[in-house]
Amino acid sequence: MIHDGDKLTFRRATIEDAKMLFDWRNDPETRAMSRDTSVLLMDNHLAWLTRRLALSEPGLYIAEIDKIPVGTVRLDQDEISYAVSPSHRRKGIAEKMLNRAFELFGPKIAEVKRENTASVKVAERTGHIIKFID
């Protein structure tokens, strides 16, 4: 069980996280708020994840509380992307993730859909820079 005071940590993503990341990415709410709203195919996801993990600095992290995966954060130079596990939404996890990312990596640009007011507010509260996407 996750409590408000539990500390959130990041670990580097691995290929073993492929199915979990795939499921999170294909969640309808995640897709609706993503730049690319299409359904992802597992073959394409595995190819992307393999390429990403082969980078010297993959910038792909799993957020955990008490070793329970609760979300993911991806860094691309000055940009940050994130998603909260569908089963952990509306519990303040996004704010914990973005606060931790700010502590570790400094302020980043969060590309957010204008209608995603919750993400806009949390990114602003945690010191990140908002860039609206359509």
Residues 57-80: pLDDT tens digits?
999 999 999 999 999 999 999 999
Q: Is the pTM of this model over 0.85?
A: yes
> What is the separation of C-alpha 104 from the centre of its chain, rounded to a whole number of angstroms?
15
CA-CA distances (angstroms) from residue 49 to 18, 20, 53, 72, 74? 7, 12, 6, 13, 12
Predicted pLDDT at 134:
79
Residue 1: its pLDDT value, please?
Answer: 62
- Give 86's pLDDT tier (boundaries 50, 70, 90): very high
Report the CATH superfamily, name and number, of domain 8-133.
Gcn5-related N-acetyltransferase (GNAT) (3.40.630.30)
d(Cα 11, Cα 14) in Å, to the nearest integer?
Answer: 9
Judged against a pLDDT cut of 90, whether residue 3 lies above it is answered with: no
Whether the CB-CB separation of 111 and 35 falls below 8 Å is answered with yes
C-beta of residue 57 within 8 angstroms of C-beta of residue 74: no
Any idea where the domains of the chain sit in the sequence? 8-133
Nearest-angstrom CA–CA distance, 117 and 28: 17
